[in-house]
Amino acid sequence: MPGSQWRTPSRSPGEGPSKYIFRTEGGDGSTPDVARYERFLSKNGIGDSSRVVVYGDYGGNKTSTLPVMLLRWLGHEKAHFLDGVGLQQWKQAGYGVSTEPRTLSEASFTADPQKNFLWTTEEVKSALDKENVVIVDTRSKAEYTGENARENDRGGHIPGAVRVNYSDLMHWPDRTTLSPQKAQAVLDEKDLSGKEDTTYVLHCQTSTRVSENYLVMKDLGYENVAVYDASWHDWGNREDTPIVTGDAQGSAQGASGGGR
């Protein structure tokens, strides 16, 4: 788009191939380096007063929703994504595109990270018996049941996890997000009503697909929504994590059960 900047959603330019800017290094759930986020965003012209609109070439996954989720975690509420397959729909609407790169003057970005946003593997394990914590699995049915273990040592799901595939919250033909009413209906069907005293912890394989669910739930007014940062990339490759296979859905009244 004319006047836009190009940045990949997961890597920080200039910091080497193993340095991640939009996810925890190695996916191990350790505390992210917030100062690095501040440096990266400031260097690329994003300041405290900037309104950021992110678009990509794949709707509802990583190229647009992930950066917005991370910006909001950093306390930057003026962050939005162009719904659907952003660039494709922009062109279909008849708007122009440019091949000229844009560089913004350096700005000053000050992070104010949300508390309790990122959960570690140990925190998830310790919450499996808590009635006020619901684990939400945003992966495909085949991943959830264990039929498709992908590159992990083990397939399946966290005991009690409720599956809401990120694509369930999208109108798939054009990959736009469902209307608030339809999205709420999907969550209600899973018994995820948004109780004020309940924390919803989202995960997928590498904390990318969760961004669609996170933004939808927050925009619907869900107060306590968190992300299991290491996700199945860690849970499915450890020997000390309990795993369930098959399609038995968990209860939204708590990660360990206790409801329908």
For the chain, the first-to-last Cα distance in angstroms comes to 48
Q: Work out the pLDDT band at 129, boundaries 50, 70, 90.
A: very high
Do 1-113 and 118-235 agree at the fold level? yes
Does 250 score more than 90 pLDDT?
Answer: no
Helices (H), the chain: 34-43, 65-73, 86-92, 121-126, 141-145, 180-189, 210-219, 231-235
Look up the pTM and report it.
Answer: 0.86
Phi/psi of residue 158, each to 5°?
Answer: -70, 135
Q: In whole angstroms, what is the distance from residue 160 CA to residue 253 CA?
A: 10
Domain ranges of the chain: 1-113, 118-235
pLDDT value of residue 17: 37
The yes or no reply on domain 118-235 and CATH 3.40.250.10 is: yes
Would you give the distance in Å from CA 165 to the centre of its chain?
A: 12
Residues forming beta bridges with residue 165, ordered by sequence position: none
Q: In whole angstroms, what is the distance from residue 137 CA to residue 121 CA?
A: 14
Superfamily of domain 1-113: Rhodanese-like domain (3.40.250.10)
Kindly write down the DSSP assignment for every residue of 64-90, as one continuous string: SHHHHHHHHHTT---EEE-SSSHHHHH
pLDDT digits (tens, 9 = 90+) for 148-166: 999 999 999 999 999 999 9
The residue behind tokens 């952003």 is 86
